[in-house]
Amino acid sequence: MKKILAGALVCMIGIICFSEQLFYEPFDYSAGGKIRGERGGVGFGSDSWHGKSGPQGDMYVTWSGLSFSDMPVCGNAVLLDMHSTGDGDGINLTRSLERALKKGTLWVSFLYKYDGVTQDSFLENIMAFVRFQSKSNKSIRFRMRCNSLTTGGIAVRQSGDKWMEGVCSKPSIADGNVYLIICRFPGLGTPEGGSPIIWAFLESGYENLKSKRGAITEADLTENVVVSAIGGCASAEMKDDDFINLGLFARKENTRFSVSFDELRAGTDLSDVLILKDASK
């Protein structure tokens, strides 16, 4: 079960923080129902969550959300359940974004949990991702892979060509634990762009960050991480016609696995997406 500090109050905390956030989605919807058609959260367009599933999978609101140490959370989570019937099957969940970010740094965080086979030969044929895409031509602005084809590891990419994707194959985070994923996409709107980074934390790393005095730096993130990856330098920006996409993909038929996403946030500073409970309270 999620650790809730009085459910409604926690959700209000997330919305209050929105003055410094681009969006926040706690998936605070009725448990057990389909996610398609829901339009909660803050910072999204007028549309609801929608996407492709069909016979190869489906997307649900879970009966309980993901918990992670004592990180303030609320609501439930979204479960993407994949049962491929052929090579190249995929499911995805999409929603438009309300605000653009054309300069500065984009920070993103979410909770992630994988359920399925953990052998390397299986993980190398599946993919789980969060990405920002252009509505006009579907080009990828930013991509975070929690499980990557071929390597089975995490990966990050900021626009650019595929060869600019940063990948770290070991250790895999497809192990049934809940992870806090934090990503940084720098240099938005500049010709030279920047090199994106993805960090994956277990609760122990989060506890270490929480106990640190003073502002948390990127060096602190790297010191307490389970695994991280750095992508190639590329120019990018988030436009007001962009959308966010959560998805799964299988390269082989008869592939069954599921992942849960929760506490999805974006902002312009690390403090917008790394939510630490005050240890003194």
Query: Where do the domains of the chain lie, and which CATH numbers do they carry?
Result: 7-273 (2.60.120.200)
Distance CA 48, CA 61 (A): 14
Say which residues have a Cβ less than 8 Å from residue 93's Cβ, sequence separation at least 6.
35, 36, 49, 50, 51, 59, 78, 80, 245, 246, 247
Residues forming a β-bridge with 198: 183, 229
Distance CA 195, CA 242 (A): 21
Phi then psi dihedrals of residue 162, to 5 deg: -60, -30
Look up the pTM and report it.
Answer: 0.92
Distance CA 230, CA 148 (A): 14
SS3 assignment, position 265? strand
Q: What strand order describes the sheet that includes 126-134?
A: 50-52, 90-96, 242-250, 126-134, 140-147, 154-158, 166-168
Whether omega before 171 lies within 30 degrees of 0, making that bond cis, reads yes
pLDDT per residue of the chain (281 residues) written in tens, 0 to 9 = 444 333 434 464 444 444 468 999 999 999 999 999 999 999 999 999 998 876 678 899 998 899 999 999 989 999 999 987 777 788 999 999 999 999 999 999 999 999 999 998 899 999 999 999 998 777 889 999 999 888 889 999 998 766 678 888 889 999 999 999 999 999 999 998 899 999 999 999 999 999 988 889 999 999 999 999 999 988 888 988 799 999 999 988 888 899 999 999 999 999 999 998 764 44
SS3 assignment, position 49? coil
